[in-house]
Homo-oligomer: A and B are copies of this chain.
Amino acid sequence: MDSPASKTQSENLSSIQQQVVDFFVDGVRVLGLPRSIGEIYGLLFISSEPLSLDDLVQKLGISKGSASQGLRTLKTLGAVREAENINDRRTYYEPATELKRLVGGFIREQIRPHLDSGKSKLQQLNETAALSSDPTERAFFDERLERLESWMKRGRQVLPILQKILGQ
């Protein structure tokens, strides 16, 4: 017989593990990432040995599907790497713990793409604004679009600085 397994509880985690997992579940939520990602990263973070996909499934009580997808995302973000574990058929994972790397991955995967797509949308917008026949209206649009441009420019300026500050 197995327990009902409430949201964040797994009888397989020690108190501290559970707390750290919860900590990261909250953390990734702020970043707009799903809870399973926080659970996985959190458990890896507070495990002294690398863990396999099956370890995660068992200890966290999540599905293989979630674990697989979560690990993929975390790898893409550069937040997790495969351990050089040797003699086992399965892959073991360990967390990247350098803030620089974590922030860099997040910026690369989650921020930059939006800044980039925003840039092209802005071009579109400028074209649409140019169609306006009323000069007053046109002037207003231009002013606002320029502001938008300046925001995005600032955004692009800030990212490298941010990475620099956070990278030691």
- Residue pair B110, A19 in contact (C-beta under 8 Å): no
Chain A interface residue count, Cβ-Cβ cutoff 8 angstroms: 43
- 1/0 contact string of A155-168 vs chain B (CB within 8 Å): 00110011001100
Q: Give Cα A166–Cα B151 distance, bound, in whole angstroms.
A: 9
Does A19 contact B158, Cβ atoms closer than 8 Å? no
B-contact bits for A25-40, CB 8 A (1 contact / 0 none): 0110010100000000
Say yes or no: B166 contacts A154, CB within 8 Å. Answer: yes
In the docked arrangement, what's the CA distance between A30 and B125, Å?
Answer: 20
Chain A contact residues, CB within 8 Å of chain B: 15-16, 19-20, 22-23, 26-27, 30, 32, 45-46, 48, 97, 99, 110-111, 114, 117-118, 121-122, 124-125, 128-129, 131-132, 137, 140-141, 144, 147-148, 150-151, 154, 157-158, 161-162, 165-166
Q: When chains A and B are docked, how far (Å) is the Cα of A99 from the Cα of B16? A: 41
The answer to whether A26 and B125 touch across the interface, beta carbons within 8 angstroms, is no
Name 13 extra pairs, CB < 8 A, besides A19-B125, A27-B114, A99-B154: A15-B128, A23-B122, A23-B148, A26-B118, A27-B118, A30-B114, A32-B32, A45-B144, A46-B141, A99-B150, A99-B151, A154-B165, A162-B162
